[in-house]
Structure formats: structure tokens, C-alpha cells
Amino acid sequence: MREGIRIALEPRYRVRAFGDAESAVEGVKEDPPDLILMDIGLPGMSGIDGIRAVKSLRPEILVIVITAYEDVQTVVAAMRGGAFDYVVKPLHAETLEASVANALETVRLQKEVRELQERCLRDNMPLFVGESHAIRDVMEFVDSAAKSADTPVLILGPTGSGKELVAAAIHYRSPNFRGPLVSVNCAAIPRELLESELFGYEKGAFTGAAHAGKKGLVEEASGGTLFLDEVGDLSPEAQSKLLRFLEDGEFYRVGGTRRLRASARVVSATNKAIEELMGKGAFREDLYYRLAVVRVAVPALRERRDDILPIARHFLVEFSRKFGRAVARFTPEAEETLLSHAWEGNVRELRNVVERAVLTGRGAEVAAGDLRLGTGGAGGHSARNAADDSAPPLTAAGVDLASIQEAIEKRYIGDALRLTGGNETKAAQLLNVNYHTFRYRRRKLGL
């Protein structure tokens, strides 16, 4: 019968024939087929066990079961084991060919869907905009790091330089791209809550814990990538649990005694000098070396000034579409203003400036005045210029330094809140300060 099936199908398909399930499973390992016809009554391993073995190796392979009679229980067991269809002996050529054609059409459609999904994911991958050698080096690093599915990556760079973009690009170019990308800003979550957010908690673990407990972000990211932004703000307890997870993939929920596993890749980022934190005992040295198996530094925007205009034009197109405005270009004076600005807030500041200019501007071009930036030479409106604007000259009568500092701090915190639309987390990042410090200073200054 096996030979008869092979002869009947070979004019249209490439067919391999095996006399038992064990040989078929080995054949799947060597050269996976699209479709398997599997008899139930086989010597040695049964057809049902053969289906399970094949599905454990290649879940996408479809299996048609061949059975000698319509035994409902056998057919149900086969379908539960992952069979796609079944045919009953004695076989009729028309029935067999129709079943095979139907199964292979399903295979074709599944492949088409997978290709479309992959194309959609890759088309929506984060876009690197820039022409400088520095950003090209970062792009080359992303391509190299993405070849691994689990190697930890540490991204260094100032606030607003695009570390989140690098992390997302690594994820979407990696074998994990079908899995979730779960991001958490370690500086934006209170330290006493961060451990439970990362690793979850069991019911009753602490006052206010959900009745049924909660999965943590580590579990949510399983099969994908966990991005830990501002990893330097992790508490000692969270650092210890993260180290264990990096070493063996195991962790415990807060208040739990059951050991759990997850397979998420960890990509972390920080704008802090980790070496200084380690020297102060604020960051574990062994954790640092586990996080920084590979590391990359994202340069500040002022260090890659060739990228300023390409990035600004990219944002101009983005926000023109978003706001339904026909804003085509920057005026030469506006471009000169962009190039002369210090960009202490890096790409994030540039994005905010262009967004505001497109939203509030009136013409088909963005003029220098629409940007609302200082134009004080190559350094732009830097911290020194702001201090000069607010500070009286020092004379023999002396000055009130505390008042001057407060005035400057008010100015910067107010500007940061305006640039970020009142978002405290983003404003703190823009000023390169801890989120909790930012909130404390804002309340103290009455802003």
C-alpha cells in the first residue's frame, strides 16, 4: 500500500516513504516535509506516538492519519495529537488526492501568512536616521548583536540619545522578533515596587497585593526581549534577583516559594556611569558583567552633528502627517538654528522641538522663529547662557547664590515640562535627573 501511494503521488509531489514511525521521525530531522501521511497501526512506535514526535520537532508540519477502519476513539486521539485530517482504508485515489491537495493548500496559506507577518514586523522596525560614522557604527553593532536570541546587551548613552530605539532594533532583527518586547523604565517606578513589577507577586505578598497575585514583566517578556531602561536605578534586592535570572533563567515571585522559569533576553540601558556606582557599592559588579556581555555606546547628538538635519527632516515628515499639515521644509535660517543649537536633550529634545514647530506653525515652511531656540553660536542656548540670563553680576556687595540657583532650576524644570507636555518621567530624563528627585524639586519650587 505504501508503494502504491508513493507511485500515485510522485507525478505531482516529491515523496519519501518509510516503513515505520521511528524512521519517519529521523527523516523529519534531516529534511522536514510539508505533509506526512501516517498509518496508525505501525510496527514499533505507534502512529499516534509518531504524530506527537513529529509535532514536537516541527509543529508546522501537517499530518494526515491513515486508519484501517473508522474507529472514533483512534481518530479522536490522532486529532488531539495534532493530526490535520484522516482517511480510511481501503483508500480511494480521489479521496486521498483531495485530502492531500487540501492539506498542501493549507500549508501554502500558512506560509503566506507567516511571510506577511514577518514582513509587517520588519517593515515596522525602528528606523535609524543619520549619515554620520558614529550612527553607522551603532547600526553595525545592532546587526551583530541581533544574531543571538539570548545574549545580554548593555546600551550606554546620555538621556534622549536613542537607547530605546537601539533596544527595539535589536529585538526586531533578532530570532525573538515574533515574541513580545517588554520595556520598563527602572527610574520611573518606586524602588519598593520595582521588584514586584519585574518578577510578579503571589496573593497576600504585601498590603494591597491583588487577590490572585500577578505575573511580572519577566514572565510577560518570555520568548521575547525584556528592555530595562535606566538599569542603574535598580534596588539591591532587584539586582540580586535579576542576577539569578540572568545566570539560570529562574526566579521567584515576591512572596512566592515556587521556582519559575522564563526565556526572555535582557537588554538594558543607562545614562549613568556604572563604574562609579560599582565603586560606591550601589551596583553589583557581578551583575554588571552579566548585563554587559556585549555593550554599545550611543553618542550624544552634539557628537554627530551631521545627523541633526536628516533627523529633523524625518520628524518633519512624521508630524506633518500626524497633524494633517502640509509643511514641506525648514527655511535656511531654521536649518542654521538647528545646527547651532547645543541639543543637551539629544534626539528627544529635537523631536519635541520639531513637533511643537509643526503643530504651532502657520506656513508651509518651518521658520527659525517657529523653533523657539536660542542661536548663540555652535553651543546654542546652553546651560551657561541660561545661567548668564538669570544671574546678576558678582560685586563687592555679594549675591544670594541660593536664590540664583533656584531661579535657574525653576527655569529648566519649567522648560522641561513644556517640552514634554507635562510628562514628569520624560522631563526628568531630559534634565538627566532621577524621577523621584525631579518630583521632589518640582514640589519644593511650587511648579
Predicted pLDDT at 375: 42
> Given a cut of 70, is residue 36 above it in pLDDT?
yes
Region of poorest pLDDT, from 126-140, 213-227, 375-389: 375-389
Predicted pLDDT at 284: 93
CATH of domain 2-121: 3.40.50.2300
Encode burial over 249-265: b for 16+ CB neighbours within 10 A, e otherwise: eebbbbebeeebebebb
Q: How many CB atoms lie within 10 A of CB 287?
A: 22
Predicted pLDDT at 121: 56
From 37, 176, 130, 43, select the one nearest 346 (Cα to Cα): 130
pLDDT in tens, 256-303: 888 888 889 999 999 888 888 899 899 999 999 999 999 999 999 988
Predicted pLDDT at 446: 77
What is the pLDDT of the chain when averaged over all its residues?
84
Predicted pLDDT at 205: 64
For the record, the C-alpha cell of 296 comes out as 554599545
> Given a cut of 80, is residue 307 above it in pLDDT?
yes
Region of poorest pLDDT, from 151-160, 353-362, 422-431: 422-431
For the record, the C-alpha cell of 353 comes out as 522641538
Of residues 188 and 402, more confidently modeled: 188
> Given a cut of 80, is residue 44 above it in pLDDT?
yes
In this structure, are residues 417 and 349 in contact, taking their beta carbons and an 8 Å threshold?
A: no
**The domain defined by 302-445 carries CATH number 1.10.8.60:** yes
Of residues 381 and 286, more confidently modeled: 286
Backbone angles phi, psi at 251, to 5 degrees: -165, 170
What is the fold of 133-299?
Rossmann fold (3.40.50)
How far is residue 294's CA from residue 327's CA, in Å, rounded to a whole number? 41
- In the chain, the percentage of residues whose pLDDT exceeds 90 is 31
Predicted pLDDT at 69: 66
How far is residue 264's CA from residue 247's CA, in Å, rounded to a whole number? 12
Predicted pLDDT at 242: 92
Tally of helices (H runs) and strands (E runs) in the chain: 20, 12
Predicted pLDDT at 308: 93
DSSP category for residue 201: B
Domain ranges across the chain: 2-121, 133-299, 302-445
Q: List beta partners, residue 265.
A: 225
**Can you tell me the mean pLDDT for 34-52?**
89
pLDDT in tens, 247-268: 988 888 888 888 888 889 999 9
Q: How confident is the model at residue 101 (pLDDT cuts 50, 70, 90)?
A: very high
Domains 2-121 and 302-445 share a fold: no
> Given a cut of 80, is residue 4 above it in pLDDT?
yes
Q: How confident is the model at residue 223 (pLDDT cuts 50, 70, 90)?
A: very high
For the record, the C-alpha cell of 99 comes out as 485530502
